[in-house]
Amino acid sequence: MQRLRPYLAYLKIVRWPIVVALLCGVVYGIANGAGLPFMIQKVFPKIFNESAARLTDWQLFMIALWLPGIFLARGIAGYFNSYLIQYAGTRVLEALRLDYFRKLQVLPLAFLQKHKTGDLISRGMTDTQTLQVALTSFANDIFKQPTSLIGALSFLAWKAYNEHGVILVLVSMAVIPLSILPIRYVGKRLINRAAQVQGHLGQVSERFSENLNAAREVRAFGLEKRETERLGLITRKLLTYQMKVTKYTQALPPLIEIISSIGISITLIYAYHVHISLNSFVAIIMALYSCYDPIKKLGALQNITKIGTAALDRLEVVLNEPVTIQDPKNPVAVTRVRGDLVFEHVGITYDNDTAALRDVTVTIPAGTTCALVGPSGAGKSTFANLVPRFYDVSAGRITLDGVDLRDMTLADLRRNIAIVSQEPVLFNDTIRNNLLLGRHDASHAEVEQSARDAFVHDFIASLPQGYDTIVGERGATLSGGQRQRLAVARAFLRNAPLLILDEATSALDSESEAAIQQALKKLVVGKTVLIIAHRFSTIRDATMILVFQEGRIIAKGDHARLHAENPLYRALYDQQNVASG
């Protein structure tokens, strides 16, 4: 329970519903723990005492009202307690998921690449739900059940002491401490099993996510049976762990009830020997039962908090991850930059100690179209990704117009950069809104002009809903060429002085490639451009070519010079020409 206390801060947003719910819980506890035994002690004898004077109908009616009165108070208090706790829990879940999602937005790409998408989704959906249940159950029952227990214990102590002194009190309560033992036993074993369940839920989510993202490949290669069997292996393990959790959680109530029955039997034997009256004995037994029920529910609460702790462990992997790429405390004010890029002895090492770039020093003047060439894994993409600070350098520095990138706010830096990826991402929204991602305040005329510049306006105009057409998840309703032209139009609309092109035409047919190449010639004018080159036919007009090998820049120049002087560049170029020929 200690682990959950820092997260009780989430309850502040619903503190008044929680306060009212707790007050209702106290009323419920008193009515349940002390009200029912008191009714048995005071009400029943007045009705069933044959030696007492006969009651009038009015007296009988008033006495009989005790029963519905207690249950009415108990029922109303219990209802509002449960309703308000559920309301508070839903609000807490909303806040918790938003914080989790908000943290994902600012974590470095390196962190996201280390974790599977499905598992991160599972943490944000399933684990937050589990933690929400634990938090609200803790906030509710930590007052409600102890109040019931204290009320019952108080009545039990008062009644037993007045009837037969302290010995009956001790006999009645002797077994209560023993009820704590199964709670501790089960709790220790439950937390590991709960962690295994949460981990396998993440694996199941990952399998679903991977399968749905590869739906065409699954059908093309006839992998339906294999995929089902793979999921079946994971779900079978998940079932095993879930049943182990069920075994422990369901074993606790009967264990406590068995111990409770032993306590009642001991009290019964003692009551017989000391000649306790039936009314007194029934009241004491009722009070004893009212003690064991809260203990049982507190045991269940212990189980819930153990499961919540396992979920919390998984959430804290994200929530406690340091945000290494963030704004400086005293940023340099930046508006629109010219585009002078300088890399000074730049190095970057990933978490597995692999050096992606080593001592890279290069100056790229504003207005330069710079192509990045080299074998796969040579460092081209890492070099380009350092400019918008998707990663931060491990050594050296990068300056833009003489200002260290780390001295700018991320918003100022990235506002000056447009990116066209090899596989552009479109959101499940209208074409217009996908284009407005380039610049949110653009007018309709500007949006339409950007589409014309990317040679995609005529296609959009031919659609029944035009610019209000929904493109589907990841632009699934469009062809690759259409998605790519929309990405180029988005870059036109952004009109940033820095442009990063991740070989925007490498996966297109010749017609789409020709249209996009024509659009790109206009797009790059007056900008500093980094082209991650996969096909050499796209870089002949580059004013600067950087050749990468094993994280280093081993040569730079134009195409003619590099082809004549650099063996690696010449080999890569000739190999591709032979393959294309």
Angle between the N-to-C axes of helices 510-523 and 480-494, in degrees from 0 to 180, rounded to the nearest 10: 0
Mean pLDDT of 345-351: 85
pLDDT at 212 over 80: no
- Among 246-255, 377-386, 518-527, where is mean pLDDT lowest? 246-255
Q: Residue 183: its pLDDT value, please?
A: 62
Mean pLDDT of 429-437: 90
Q: Is 230 exposed, middle or buried (0-12, 13-18, 19+ CB in 10 A)?
A: middle
Sketch the domain layout of the chain as residue ranges.
Answer: 2-319, 337-415+534-581
pLDDT at 166 over 50: no
Q: Residue 285: its pLDDT value, please?
A: 66
Sequence-separated contacts (24+) of 10-19 with Cβ below 8 Å = 10/92, 10/95, 10/96, 10/135, 11/88, 11/92, 11/135, 11/139, 13/91, 13/92, 13/95, 14/87, 14/88, 14/91, 14/92, 17/84, 17/87, 17/88, 18/84, 18/85, 18/88, 18/139
> Which residues are CB-contacts of 572 (< 8 A; sequence separation ≥ 6)?
373, 374, 375, 536
pLDDT at 284 over 90: no
Q: Residue 396: its pLDDT value, please?
A: 94
Q: Residue 527: its pLDDT value, please?
A: 92
Q: Check if the beta carbon of residue 375 is closer than 8 Å to that of residue 549.
A: yes
pTM (two decimals):
0.71
CB count in 10 Å sphere of residue 47 = 12
Pairing assessment for the beta strands 528-532 and 544-549 based on DSSP bridges? unpaired
> Could you please report the per-residue DSSP string of 163-211?
HH-HHHHHHHHTTTGGGHHHHHHHHHHHHHHHHHHHHHHHHHHHHHHHH
Task: Return the structure tokens found at 374.
Answer: 């080299």
Task: Return the structure tokens found at 398.
Answer: 């990068």
Residue whose pair of structure tokens reads 């609000």 in the numeric block = 91
CATH code reported for the domain at 2-319: 1.20.1560.10
Give bridge partners of residue 548 from the DSSP assignment. 553
Which run of H or E residues covers position 399? Answer: strand 395-400
> Could you please report the per-residue DSSP string of 220-232?
HTT-HHHHHHHHH
Q: Residue 152: its pLDDT value, please?
A: 66
Per-residue pLDDT of 25-41, as tens digits, reads 778 767 765 666 666 66
CA distance 169 to 166: 5
Above pLDDT 90, what percent of the chain? Answer: 20
Angle between the N-to-C axes of helices 128-164 and 36-48, in degrees from 0 to 180, rounded to the nearest 10: 40
Residue whose pair of structure tokens reads 């996201």 in the numeric block = 112
Per-residue pLDDT of 121-161, as tens digits, reads 888 888 888 877 777 777 666 666 676 666 666 766 666 66
pLDDT at 1 over 60: no
Q: Residue 556: its pLDDT value, please?
A: 92
Angle at CA 469, nearest 5°, toward 466 and 475? Answer: 125
pLDDT at 432 over 60: yes
Q: What one-character DSSP code corresponds to residue 32?
A: I
CB count in 10 Å sphere of residue 37 = 26
Mean pLDDT of 281-305: 68
Per-residue pLDDT of 33-81, as tens digits, reads 566 666 666 666 666 665 656 666 776 667 667 667 777 877 888 788 8
Q: Is 373 helix (H, G, I), strand (E, B) or coil?
A: strand
Task: Return the structure tokens found at 372.
Answer: 């990045």
CA distance 119 to 33: 44
CA distance 526 to 477: 34
Q: Check if the beta carbon of residue 259 is closer than 8 Å to that of residue 182.
A: yes
Per-residue pLDDT of 373-398, as tens digits, reads 988 888 898 999 999 999 899 899 99
Task: Return the structure tokens found at 580.
Answer: 């294309």
Q: Which of 97-101, 289-293, 310-314 has the highest mean pLDDT?
A: 97-101
Task: Return the structure tokens found at 205.
Answer: 């989510």
Between 472 and 334, name the one with better pLDDT.
334
- Among 77-91, 499-513, 536-550, where is mean pLDDT lowest? 499-513
For all residues of the chain together, what is the average pLDDT? 79
Overall fold of domain 337-415+534-581:
Rossmann fold (3.40.50)
> Which residues are CB-contacts of 165 (< 8 A; sequence separation ≥ 6)?
none
Q: Check if the beta carbon of residue 193 is closer than 8 Å to that of residue 246.
A: no
Angle at CA 1, nearest 5°, toward 23 and 192? Answer: 140
